[in-house]
């Protein structure tokens, strides 16, 4: 779908320099832009490409606008990087027209309810007394169990599984093969040396505006609920164990794991492969680098550079320690 410079500029109140009627249909890097592409320029390092670019439109920071005339139409903004994020959202919305109704070979229980404008894809299943909100898009091969609540304008990509009783808020996105509500890892050792399974009777609650990456698993609570609060963003391949609580607007990168009953604060940022021990509390705003191992409670915000290493310690303390122990081999 083609979009004009005028429409794009109106989307984020940009100023047009050039032809407002030029149209583009895709996004590209400024060094490889074509006439049907829109590019962006926020880093002065790439400013020279502006004079050779064949792109139809370039979104540019106000302080980088050239004095001489160039070929592309410019849309001038205060922050080109942020504007591009908004642009991609616009193009994605225009590209994806919502479906409604039910596809052939889908199944909806007689007692389940589907909201106005929602869509149920092929081979998808909605169980007894479940409720799906308005405008929600359920792709093929999604399983929604009994007594599940899915909010408005949710996207469930192929292969998502939501077990009985779990609740998903509004405007959430669950990518392919996400599992919500599988049993927590609870087993009690017996005198015979084996393990007896502890029934997992709770649920998972995912609040509004949460995005969960492919193949991430969130376990149901033993009792009560595993809670993912509003605005949380989880990457692919993350394990969230039973009775965990993740605070608002926390972001967690791929292959991280959070053990049972850990409480993660709001606005935290975890790098890839972060490990969080069970039954600990992590303060609001905590940051940690990739592969950090948080084994004890974090009681206060650790600054911009955060925690590093296993066991995780303050970044600067870790770097000073690293400078010392990497010399040990030389002292043999």
Q: Identify whether 140 is part of a domain.
A: yes
Same domain, 11 and 40: yes
Query: 298: which DSSP letter?
Result: B
Same domain, 143 and 248: yes
Task: Report how far residue 252's alpha carbon sits from residue 99's, in angstroms, rounded to the nearest whole number.
Answer: 31
Q: Identify whether 22 is part of a domain.
A: yes
pLDDT, residue 306, reads 87
Same domain, 254 and 305: yes
pLDDT, residue 243, reads 97
Same domain, 113 and 90: no
Among 9-13, 104-108, 158-162, the least confident range? 9-13
Q: Identify whether 187 is part of a domain.
A: yes
Among 63-67, 92-96, 187-191, the least confident range? 92-96
pLDDT in tens, 194-236: 999 999 999 999 999 999 999 999 999 999 999 999 999 999 9
11 given a catalytic annotation: no
Task: Report how far residue 211's alpha carbon sits from residue 229's, in angstroms, rounded to the nearest whole number.
Answer: 11
Task: Answer yes or no: is pLDDT of 103 > 80.
Answer: yes
Same domain, 261 and 129: yes
Instruction: Give the mean pLDDT of 33-61.
Output: 90
Q: Identify whether 331 is part of a domain.
A: no
CATH code: domain of residue 14: 3.40.1390.10
Write phi, then psi, for 300 (nearest 5 degrees).
-150, 155
pLDDT, residue 327, reads 80
Query: 18: which DSSP letter?
Result: S
End-of-domain residue from the set 73, 95, 117: 95
Q: Identify whether 153 is part of a domain.
A: yes
Same domain, 115 and 263: yes
Task: Answer yes or no: is pLDDT of 68 > 80.
Answer: yes
pTM of whole model > 0.95? no
Task: Answer yes or no: is pLDDT of 317 > 90.
Answer: no
Q: Identify whether 326 is part of a domain.
A: no
Same domain, 178 and 269: yes
Query: 45: helix, coil or strand?
Result: helix
Mean pLDDT rounded to a whole number for the chain: 92
Same domain, 221 and 259: yes
Task: Report how far residue 196's alpha carbon sits from residue 189's, in angstroms, rounded to the nearest whole number.
Answer: 6
End-of-domain residue from the set 49, 65, 95: 95
Contact predicate 60/80, CB 8 Å: yes
**Confidence bin at 106 (pLDDT 50/70/90):** very high
**Confidence bin at 322 (pLDDT 50/70/90):** confident
Strands (DSSP E) along 163-254, which ranges? 167-168, 173-174, 179-182, 187-189, 195-197, 203-206, 211-212, 217-219, 225-228, 233-234, 239-240, 245-246, 251-252
CATH code: domain of residue 188: 2.160.10.10
Q: Identify whether 325 is part of a domain.
A: no
Same domain, 106 and 86: no
End-of-domain residue from the set 77, 95, 113: 95
**Confidence bin at 83 (pLDDT 50/70/90):** confident
Same domain, 63 and 30: yes
**Confidence bin at 171 (pLDDT 50/70/90):** very high
As for how many domains the chain has, the answer is 2
List the domain range (segments joined by +) for residue 236: 101-320
Same domain, 75 and 141: no
Q: Identify whether 189 is part of a domain.
A: yes
Same domain, 113 and 82: no
């Amino acid at each position: 779908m083609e979009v004009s410079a005028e429409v794009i500029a109106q989307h984020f109140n940009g100023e047009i320099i050039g032809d407002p009627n030029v149209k583009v249909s895709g996004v590209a890097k400024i060094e490889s832009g074509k006439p049907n592409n829109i590019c962006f320029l926020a880093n002065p390092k790439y400013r020279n490409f502006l004079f050779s670019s064949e792109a139809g439109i370039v979104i540019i920071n106000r302080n980088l606008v050239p004095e001489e005339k160039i070929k592309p139409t410019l849309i001038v903004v205060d922050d080109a990087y942020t504007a591009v994020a908004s642009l991609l959202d616009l193009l994605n919305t225009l590209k994806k027209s919502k479906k409604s109704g039910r596809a052939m070979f889908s199944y909806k229980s007689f007692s389940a309810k589907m909201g106005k404008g929602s869509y149920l894809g092929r081979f998808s299943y909605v169980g007894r007394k479940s409720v799906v909100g308005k405008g929600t898009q359920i792709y093929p091969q999604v399983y929604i169990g009994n007594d599940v609540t899915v909010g408005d304008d949710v996207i469930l990509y192929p292969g998502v599984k939501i077990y009985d009783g779990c609740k998903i808020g509004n405007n959430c996105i669950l990518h392919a093969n996400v599992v919500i509500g599988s049993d927590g890892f609870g087993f009690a050792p017996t005198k015979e040396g084996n393990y007896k399974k502890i029934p997992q009777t709770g649920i998972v609650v995912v609040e509004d505006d949460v995005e969960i990456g492919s193949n991430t698993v969130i376990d149901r609570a033993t009792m009560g609920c595993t809670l993912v609060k509003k605005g949380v963003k989880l990457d692919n391949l993350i394990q969230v164990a039973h009775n965990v609580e993740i605070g608002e607007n926390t972001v967690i990168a791929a292959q991280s794991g959070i053990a049972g009953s850990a409480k993660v604060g709001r606005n935290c940022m975890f790098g890839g492969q972060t490990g969080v021990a069970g039954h600990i509390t992590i303060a609001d705003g905590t940051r940690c680098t990739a592969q950090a191992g948080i084994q004890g409670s974090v009681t206060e915000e650790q600054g911009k550079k955060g925690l590093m290493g296993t066991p995780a310690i303050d970044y600067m303390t870790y770097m000073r320690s690293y400078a010392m122990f990497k010399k040990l081999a030389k002292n043999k």
